[in-house]
C-alpha cells in the first residue's frame, strides 16, 4: 500500500519534470524559428544581436553580465550567442543575426583579422555594427559604426610607467606572458609597454609567449619562463587570470611573488585586487568590462538614426604598491 502511494507520487513528479522540459524546449525552438524568419514579437522594440567571444576570464564573464543586464534595463531585445573561443562560431553567429534581420549587431572580435566578408554582408543588409572591447584590422573602416571599450594601448603604457617608477635605470629583465595572439588586447598592451620603456635600455624583455588570457596557461608559460630565466625581475602578464596563474607558478618554486619577483597585470578583477592587497601582485592596470550601458546607448542611437559617439572609452586607473590600496574595490564588486 505504502509502495503504491510512493509510485503514484513518483509518477506525478516525473510527469511534471517532462512537462516543464518540453515547455522550455518548445520555447527555445520558438525563439529560433522567429529568429530565422526575421520576425520579432514587437516591431517597435530594438533587437540587438551580440556575439560574445567566450568566457576565458572573470573580465569576460563580467562583460557578458553587463551586456545582458544593460539590455534588460534599456528594454532592448538581446539575442546573445557565446562563440566558445572560436572565430568561426562568431562569424556564424553574425550570419545568423543578419538572416534574422536584427536592428544592430555587436561583437567582441577574438582576433583582429578575417572579418571583412561577414561584415560586408552586414553592410549590404544595412545593419550597423558595434565593436566591443577589441578591434578589427580592415582596409574598409566603414564596415563598423562604433567602438565601445577601453584604451588598451594606454593601459600598456601605464604598466610600463609603473616599471620605470619602480626600477628607474636599474638593469631589469622582464618575462612577458602575453594574451591571445593577434587579439587587440595582446597587440596593444605589448605596444604600449614597449612605447613606455623605449627610452630605457636598462629594460630587457627576455621572454615573451602567449598564455591565451587563461589562468592555467598563464601558470604553464610562467613555469617555462622562469625555468629559462631564473634571474628575471618582472613577470608582466596581459591579464589578471594569467597573473594569478603566474603567482601559483612562482610559489611552486618556493619564491615570494611580489617580493622576490615583481608581478604586474591588467584588468582589476576581485581576486587580483585581493592579491595586490596581500602584496603578491605589485601593480594592476584597470580595464573595465562594464561596457553594457554604453553599448545599449550606442545601439539604440544607431537603430533610430540618432547621433552617437563612434568611439567610447571607459576610464582607466592604476592600482599599485605605491597607492593606499586597502580601500580599493574591483568592478566585480559594483
Q: Contact positions toward ligand GYE, by CB under 6 A?
A: 56-57, 59-60, 133-134, 185, 213, 239, 241, 266-267, 287
* Bridge partner list, 146: 130
Cβ(119)–Cβ(144) below 8 Å: yes
If the CB atoms of residues 203 and 266 are measured against ligand GYE, the closer one turns out to be 266
Minimal distance in Å, beta carbon 145 to ligand GYE?
A: 20
Minimal distance in Å, beta carbon 190 to ligand GYE?
A: 13
Minimal distance in Å, beta carbon 193 to ligand GYE?
A: 14
If the CB atoms of residues 207 and 213 are measured against ligand GYE, the closer one turns out to be 213
If the CB atoms of residues 51 and 185 are measured against ligand GYE, the closer one turns out to be 185
Minimal distance in Å, beta carbon 314 to ligand GYE?
A: 10
Secondary structure, 3-state, the chain:
CHHHHHHHHHHHHHHHHHHHHHHHHHHHHHHHHHHHHCCCCCCCCCEEEEEECCCCCHHHHHHHHHHHHHHHHHCCEEEEEECCCCHHHHHHHHHHHHHCCCCEEEECCCCCCCCHHHHHHHHHCCCCEEEECCCCCCCCHHHCCEEEEECHHHHHHHHHHHHHHHHCCCCEEEEEEECCCCCHHHHHHHHHHHHHHCCCCCEEEEEEEECCCCHHHHHHHHHHHHHHCCCCCEEEECCHHHHHHHHHHHHHCCCCECCCEEEEEEECCHHHHHHHHCCCCCEEEECCCCCHHHHHHHHHHHHCCCCCCCEEEECCCEEECCCCCCCCCCHHHC
Minimal distance in Å, beta carbon 108 to ligand GYE?
A: 7
Minimal distance in Å, beta carbon 237 to ligand GYE?
A: 10
Minimal distance in Å, beta carbon 99 to ligand GYE?
A: 27
If the CB atoms of residues 129 and 287 are measured against ligand GYE, the closer one turns out to be 287
If the CB atoms of residues 133 and 233 are measured against ligand GYE, the closer one turns out to be 133
If the CB atoms of residues 185 and 210 are measured against ligand GYE, the closer one turns out to be 185
Cβ(100)–Cβ(73) below 8 Å: no
If the CB atoms of residues 241 and 330 are measured against ligand GYE, the closer one turns out to be 241
Amino acid at each position: 500500500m505504502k509502495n503504491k502511494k510512493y509510485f503514484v507520487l513518483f509518477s506525478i513528479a516525473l510527469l511534471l519534470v517532462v512537462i516543464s522540459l518540453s515547455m522550455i524546449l518548445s520555447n527555445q525552438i520558438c525563439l529560433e524559428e522567429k529568429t530565422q524568419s526575421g520576425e520579432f514579437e514587437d516591431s517597435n522594440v530594438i533587437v540587438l544581436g551580440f556575439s560574445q567571444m567566450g568566457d576565458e576570464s572573470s573580465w569576460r564573464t563580467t562583460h557578458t553580465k553587463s551586456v545582458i543586464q544593460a539590455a534588460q534595463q534599456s528594454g532592448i531585445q538581446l539575442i546573445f550567442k557565446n562563440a566558445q573561443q572560436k572565430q568561426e562560431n562568431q562569424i556564424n553567429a553574425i550570419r545568423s543575426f543578419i538572416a534574422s534581420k536584427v536592428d544592430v549587431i555587436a561583437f567582441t572580435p577574438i582576433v583582429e583579422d578575417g572579418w571583412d566578408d561577414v561584415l560586408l554582408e552586414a553592410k549590404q543588409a544595412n545593419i550597423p555594427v558595434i565593436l566591443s572591447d577589441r578591434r578589427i584590422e580592415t582596409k574598409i573602416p566603414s564596415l563598423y559604426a562604433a567602438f565601445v571599450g577601453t584604451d588598451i594601448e594606454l593601459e600598456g603604457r601605464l604598466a610600463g610607467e609603473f616599471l620605470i617608477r619602480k626600477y628607474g635605470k636599474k638593469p631589469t629583465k622582464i618575462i612577458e606572458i602575453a594574451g591571445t595572439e593577434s587579439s587587440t588586447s595582446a597587440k596593444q598592451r605589448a605596444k604600449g609597454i614597449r612605447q613606455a620603456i623605449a627610452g630605457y635600455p636598462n629594460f630587457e624583455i627576455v621572454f615573451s609567449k602567449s598564455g591565451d588570457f587563461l589562468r592555467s596557461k598563464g601558470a604553464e608559460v610562467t613555469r617555462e619562463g622562469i625555468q629559462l630565466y631564473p634571474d628575471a625581475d618582472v613577470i608582466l602578464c596581459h591579464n589578471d587570470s594569467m597573473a594569478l596563474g603566474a603567482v601559483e607558478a612562482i610559489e611552486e618554486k618556493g619564491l615570494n611573488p611580489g617580493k622576490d619577483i615583481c608581478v604586474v597585470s591588467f584588468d582589476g578583477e576581485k581576486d587580483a585586487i585581493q592579491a595586490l592587497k596581500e602584496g603578491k601582485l605589485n601593480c594592476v592596470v584597470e580595464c573595465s568590462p562594464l561596457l553594457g550601458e554604453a553599448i545599449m546607448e550606442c545601439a539604440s542611437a544607431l537603430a533610430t538614426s540618432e547621433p552617437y559617439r563612434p568611439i567610447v572609452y571607459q576610464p582607466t586607473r592604476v592600482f599599485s604598491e605605491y597607492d593606499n590600496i586597502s580601500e580599493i574595490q574591483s568592478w566585480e564588486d559594483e
